[in-house]
Amino acid sequence: MQKRISFFFLLSTISAIFFTLNSCKQSKHKGFEQTDSGLFIANHRENESGKQPKVKDILYCHMKLFLKAEGDKKDSMLFDSESFPDFPGGVKFIQISEPAFKGDIMEGLKLMHIGDSSSFIVSADSFFLVSNKMKELPPGMKPGSELLFHIGLKDIQTEEETVKRLSELRGKASGEQKAEMNKLEAEEAQAMLSYLERKKIAEKPTPSGLVYVETQKGNGPKPKVGQKVTVHYTGYLTNGKKFDSSFDHDAPFTFTLGKGEVIGGWDEGIGMMNVGTSATFVIPSVLGYGSNGSGDIPPFAPLVFEVQLLKAE
């Protein structure tokens, strides 16, 4: 759980308390108040009637993190929860803990209310070297640098409730994925049949389901299991999209026949050819890449290969 709800690579130990204005003093950062501990705070939206967190609670936040720039230069964004969320809706998890150093952001977060929006400036040295126990600052970050956090607090849940929510989310995702896989599997037979009809291919499939169409007869011998065979090939999906070709690699492809070095449809189809033959294989996914797919080949995809058998030795 501790890993799953970590704030941002090493941001798992941040902590804060929202001090009232009379506990703050003027600061070097315009628009920010500084607490006695050294934390800089700017409140943009306050909802005092909202719920506040306790230690170990999980904050559901929208968060942006910047490296403060010197002078009039632009701050550099280090992290945005919209791009790397822990939960739907661009939410990042922050688990509340006790402050690890004076001026720790946890001071400000600890008394935020649901619906609040605030910014915090903290020491990068303390944050990375003390809170996160790094041996050195991240590459390109100078000692004495400061970090700027923009936090919008959307919800507060206990650790147990968050674990439950994540489990439900994973279960839903697994169910949706399974439904999609079942849909693709059901569509495979129709995709293969439509391709054969469109190309007017009348050859019957072998018992395994391979459709072998000889386009040019060769005069050489048939290869034997265990021989090295060399081929030129181009592979397509049944929608006509090319996904691979030996011609694009400027070299034919060599493998050992019948030893499982290639997909089953190749071992079977090339074993039916004579050296010098050209043929088209229409291969069901069970003889191809199955339910996993590979690269540009989706799950349960029938494949079409145009193959030339150059030699067997």
- The catalytic residue among 79, 243, 253, 255 is 243
- The catalytic residue among 14, 94, 263, 283 is 263
Q: 226: Cβ–Cβ under 8 A, 6 or more apart, which residues? A: 256, 257, 258, 259
**CA-CA distances (angstroms) from residue 194 to 63, 136, 199?**
50, 61, 9
> Among this protein's residues, is 212 annotated catalytic?
no
Q: Do residues 125 and 136 make contact, with C-beta atoms less than 8 angstroms apart?
A: no
Q: Phi/psi zone of residue 190: left (φ > 0), alpha (ψ -120 to 50 degrees), beta?
A: alpha
To the nearest 10°, report the CA torsion of 197, 199, 204, 208.
-100
3-state helix, strand, coil in the chain (%, to 5): 25, 30, 45
- The catalytic residue among 66, 236, 289, 300 is 289
- Number of Cβ within 10 Å of residue 66's Cβ equals 19
> Among this protein's residues, is 244 annotated catalytic?
yes
- The catalytic residue among 244, 281, 297, 300 is 244
For residue 261, the 8-state DSSP code is S
Residues 258, 262: Cα–Cα separation, whole Å: 8
Q: 14: Cβ–Cβ under 8 A, 6 or more apart, which residues? A: 7, 94, 97, 104, 105, 106, 109, 127, 131
Residues 283, 191: Cα–Cα separation, whole Å: 12
> Among this protein's residues, is 155 annotated catalytic?
no
> Among this protein's residues, is 305 annotated catalytic?
yes
- The catalytic residue among 195, 236, 281, 305 is 305
> Among this protein's residues, is 41 annotated catalytic?
no
- The catalytic residue among 149, 233, 236, 281 is 233
Cα end-to-end span (Å), the chain: 57
Query: What would the DSSP string read from start to end of 100-154?
Result: SSTT-THHHHHT--TT-EEEEEEEHHIIIIIIS--SSPPTTPPTT-EEEEEEEEE
> Among this protein's residues, is 32 annotated catalytic?
no
Active site residues: 233, 243-244, 263, 289, 305
